[in-house]
Amino acid sequence: MSAPLSVSIVVQGRFHAFALAEALIKKGVPLKLYTNYPAFKAEQFGVPRGNLKCLPLLGLLHRYGYRWGWVEKCQALERLLHQGFSRWTSRCIMQDETDIVHAFSGVALETYRDLERRRRPVLRLLMRGSAHISDQYKELHRESRLAGAQVELPSTWMMHRERQEYQVSHNIVTLSSYARNSFLQRGYEEDKILRLALGSDYTMFRPSREVVDQRLARIRSGAPLKVLFTGNVSLQKGVRDMISVARALRGRMEFRLVGGVTPDAMSQVAGASELFELVPRVPESELPGIYNQADVFFFPTLHDGFAAVLAQAKAACLPVLCTSHCAGPDLITDDLTGWVLPTRRPDLFIQRLSSYDQDREALARQVENLWLIQDKRGWDLVADDFLTMSEKAYAGLRRT
C-alpha cells in the first residue's frame, strides 16, 4: 500500500482551513498548516502543535490593519501582508518534502512561482473561497452604488495578483456551483475548476427530537414565526433586503439577526433597529441554541463562495430561504428543505415567508423533511472528498 500524499495548507486567518486540517490529520495524512495564527490559538481549534508553522506577528498586523482601516489606506501594507506571508511560506515549504500545497487565494503567488521551478512535481491547489474576483468586485461595487455607502472592495493590486494566482495554479478549488460557474463562464477549462462542498459539525447542530417537536408546535400554534439570520450584518449579505423584508412583515413575524454589524451597514441598521432583534456575534458553540429557537432561516446574500451558516441551519432542521449566489443551490431543494431565490428580490422573500405564514403545515413538512434527511455531512466527509479530488489531480500531474 502506497504512503499517503503529504499536504501543506496555507491560510491567513482561519476560515475552514483549521477544520479541514484537523479532519485530514485524524485520517493519518502527513500535514503542515502554515498560518498567521499563534500556535496556542490554532491548537484550540484542533490542530496539534506538531502540525503547525506559525507567523503570529504578521497575523497581528493583518488583524488590526484591516480592523482599523490601515490596509485600505496603504497599499504598501496590503502588499507586505500578502507577499510577506507567501514568501515566508515558500521558504518553509522549500525546506520540506510535500506533495500537495493547498493555499488560499491572495497568499499563494510567490510560493507557487517558486514551486514551478522545482523539479519534483508538487500539486498546486488554489483555494478560492468566493466566486471569481471580478464577479466579487462587480457585485460589491454595484451594491455600494445602490446603497450610497462605501464597501470594502478588492483593490486593483489584489485583483491583478489573484488573476496571476489563477494562472499559476494547477487547479482552483471552489466551494459551490455558483463559485465554480463564475470561472467556467470566463472560459476556464472544466478540469481546472474543482468544487469542494464544505460541511458542519452536524453532531453539534443537529437538534434533539424534543427541540423539533417544540418548533412544530410553535409553527402550528399560529404564533408569529421566528425568522433567523446569522453572520456578518453587511451590505454584502443583503442587509438592505433584510430590512425591506422585516419592514413588510413587521408584526407578523419576529426577525433576529445574530452577528457583527460591518461599518458599511451601520447607518442602515441604525435606521431600522425597531424591525428586528440584533444580537452581537457569538461563539460558534452558542449557535446551536440560537438555531433551536428559530422557525425559519433566511439569507439574502449578494455574494458568498459557500456560506457555512447554511450547512449549520440545514443540520439544525431549519427551512432555509437564501439566494442563488452561495451554496444554496447545492444544499437546498425547493419546496422540500426551503427555497432558493434570485438576489436583490426582497419581494420574493416576502412572498415565500408570507406563504409559510399562511400555510403552516407546508412549513412544518419542511422541518420534518430536514429531520428525516439527517444531513450528516461533517468534516470527515469533506476530508474524504478533498483527498479523492487531490489524489486524482496529483495523478494527472504525474502523467504530464
- Give tens-digit pLDDT for 225-256: 999 999 999 999 999 999 999 999 999 999 99
**Per-residue three-class SS string for 246-293:** HHHCECCEEEEEECCECHHHHHHHHCCHHHCEEECCCCHHHHHHHHHC
| pLDDT surpassing 90 at residue 71 | no
- What confidence score (pLDDT) does residue 182 get? 98
CA distance from start to end of the chain: 23
- Grid cell 431600522 is found at 272
Lowest mean pLDDT among 60-64, 105-109, 203-207, 235-239: 60-64
Among candidates 339, 390, 351, 385, which has minimal Cα distance to 121?
390
What pLDDT digit, counting tens, does each position of 340-394 carry?
999 999 999 999 999 999 999 999 999 999 999 987 889 999 999 999 999 999 9
Name residue 124's beta-bridge partners.
101
Other beta carbons within 10 Å of 366: 22
400 or 74: whose pLDDT is higher?
A: 74
Given this model, what pLDDT does residue 239 score?
Answer: 98
Q: What is the mean pLDDT of residues 265-289?
A: 95
How much is the pLDDT for 147?
A: 94
Residue 1 has pLDDT above 60, yes or no: no
Question: For residues 75 and 230, which has the higher predicted lDDT (pLDDT)?
Answer: 230
3-state secondary structure of 31: strand
Give tens-digit pLDDT for 200-219.
888 999 999 999 999 999 99
What are the sequence ranges of the domains in the chain? Answer: 7-199+379-399, 202-373
Fold matches, 7-199+379-399 and 202-373: yes
Dihedral, 369, 373, 377, 380 alpha carbons, nearest 10: 150
Share of the chain above pLDDT 70, in %: 100
Average pLDDT score, the chain = 95
The average pLDDT across 143-165 equals 95
CA dist 76 and 163 (Å) reads 19
Q: Does domain 7-199+379-399 have CATH number 3.10.620.30?
A: no
Q: 68 pLDDT band (50/70/90 cuts)? A: confident
What is the average per-residue pLDDT within 100-110?
A: 98
Model confidence at 323: pLDDT above 60: yes
More confident residue, 25 or 78: 25
- Sign, CA torsion 243/216/327/381: positive
Which pLDDT belongs to residue 52? 97
pLDDT on residue 387: 97
Give the pLDDT score at 155.
94
Could you give the CA distance from residue 269 to residue 267 in angstroms, rounded to a whole number?
A: 5
Q: Range with the lowest mean pLDDT among 32-46, 71-85, 299-313? A: 71-85
CATH architecture assigned to 202-373: 3-Layer(aba) Sandwich (3.40)
pLDDT at residue number 65: 84
Where does the pLDDT of residue 132 fall: very low under 50, low under 70, confident under 90, or very high at 90 and above? very high
What pLDDT does residue 73 have?
A: 78
72 or 50, greater pLDDT: 50
Q: Which pLDDT band holds residue 62 (cuts at 50, 70, 90)?
A: confident
